[in-house]
Amino acid sequence: MYSECSKKISFDTEKQAKNAATVAKHQHGSRLKVYKCTKCQLWHLSTDYGDQDDN
């Protein structure tokens, strides 16, 4: 059991996660990154863009 993952919204598939990210973008204008968690093997959304060229 991973407590940090239980705090997050988890998705079984990438498609579900991307759908949720799209909804969030439309509703809140927030850009969310979809990633597969290496701990729980589920998909999470993150606002943390580690990549450059984001600002």
Q: Which is nearer to Zn ion, 20 or 37 (CB)?
A: 37
Question: For the chain, give me the number of helices (H) and strands (E)?
Answer: 2, 2
DSSP 39: T
| 5 touching Zn ion, by CB under 5 A | yes
Cα 11–chain centre separation: 9
Binding string, residues 22-41; x marks residues near Zn ion by CB under 5 A: ---------------x-xx-
Q: What is the number of the residue whose Cβ is closest to Zn ion?
A: 37
Binding interface with Zn ion (CB under 5 A): 5, 37, 39-40
